[in-house]
Amino acid sequence: MTGEANEGELVGAVAALIRFPTKSMAGECRTELELRWPGIHGDRQYSFCRAADRSRFPWLSARDLSRLVLYRPLYHRPDDPRHSPVEVTTPSGERLALDSLILAEMLSNEAQAAVGLMQVGSGIFDAMPVSLASTASLAAVDEAHGTALDARRFRLNIVVESSQRDNDWCSAILSFGEVDDGARVLVNNAIPRCALITIDPDTAERDATVMRTVAQKGIGKLFERKGRSVA
């Protein structure tokens, strides 16, 4: 992987690719993702919404219901997410269709509010459509926190194995794969962190010290960047 702002310098290699079929639920690891102008194809294509909420943010989020991160959705046809059925494994191990009334009722009971499913082809994002971080930046977070943190807390699409921190790539274009036909991402903004990073992806328990580490150590805008597709 190269950064064009540094004259084609090799900055690292892709260590992980993750797509989130449903907003605030667990992600699915992939060996390949299709990057389009609106973002990663199939990423955050679905979300549950609070039926009575008429605000600009009606989405049911793990910020409100931590246990959402324990639900694991998967596309039946991962190469065709637009048309693929989605199956969700619940925290108890039950497998349900994403659009099943049973799942909607289950989440409504947990959220203590009626919820319904929405599909948005361009993805449902709080900010920009692609999130990435380097392993060096994640290691800096671990060092500041005094213990290793599961990278899944940060809801990343792309993890880059690199000795460089990703803030070094601000305003750069990252090229993946072959220069002529590989994906390219303009790294142009940092992500304001929210309460999701305090949620353990395996237990849904919250640890407020994670947020304090990010806020107090001044690293909140250094370890993760959001980019957008430019090709």
Counted domains in the chain: 2
pLDDT higher than 80, residue 157: yes
d(Cα 158, Cα 145) in Å, to the nearest integer?
22
pLDDT of 179? 63
Examine the fold and report which residue of 97, 119, 141 is the final residue of a domain before the chain moves on: 119
Q: Is pTM, for the whole model, over 0.75?
A: yes
For the stretch 104-120, pLDDT in tens is 999 999 999 999 999 98
pLDDT of 215? 80
For the stretch 32-51, pLDDT in tens is 999 988 889 999 999 999 98
Q: Do 110 and 148 fall within a single domain?
A: no
Q: Do 132 and 216 fall within a single domain?
A: yes
Q: Do 97 and 142 fall within a single domain?
A: no
pLDDT of 181? 73
Q: Do 102 and 134 fall within a single domain?
A: no
Q: Identify whether 218 is part of a domain.
A: yes
Give residue 3's pLDDT band: very low, low, confident or very high (50, 70, 90). Answer: low
Q: Identify whether 71 is part of a domain.
A: yes
pLDDT of 231? 31
Nearest to 156 by CA among 3, 2, 12, 26: 26
Q: What range defines the domain where residue 76 resides?
A: 28-119
Examine the fold and report which residue of 119, 146, 170 is the final residue of a domain before the chain moves on: 119
Q: Identify whether 23 is part of a domain.
A: no
pLDDT of 230? 35
Q: Identify whether 221 is part of a domain.
A: yes
Q: Do 89 and 183 fall within a single domain?
A: no
What secondary structure, in 3-state letters, does the chain show?
A: CEEHHHCCEECCEEEEEEECCECCCCCEEECCCCEECCEECCCCCEEEEECCCCCCCCECCCCCCHHHHHCEEEECCCCCCCCCCEEEECCCCCEEECCCHHHHHHHHHHHCCCEEEEECCCCCCCCCCEEEEEHHHHHHHHHHHCCCCCHHHHCCCEEEECCCCHHHHCCCEEECCCCCCCCEEEEEEECCCCHHHHECCCCCCECHHHHHHHHHCCCCCCCCEEEEECC
For the stretch 162-183, pLDDT in tens is 999 888 888 888 988 766 677 8
For the stretch 115-137, pLDDT in tens is 999 998 888 887 778 999 999 99
Q: Do 111 and 38 fall within a single domain?
A: yes
Q: Do 63 and 112 fall within a single domain?
A: yes
* pLDDT-wise least confident of 79-83, 95-99, 121-125, 154-158: 121-125
For the stretch 184-231, pLDDT in tens is 888 887 777 788 999 999 999 999 999 999 887 655 554 444 554 433
Examine the fold and report which residue of 119, 149, 172 is the final residue of a domain before the chain moves on: 119
Burial of 48 (0-12, 13-18, 19+ CB in 10 A): buried
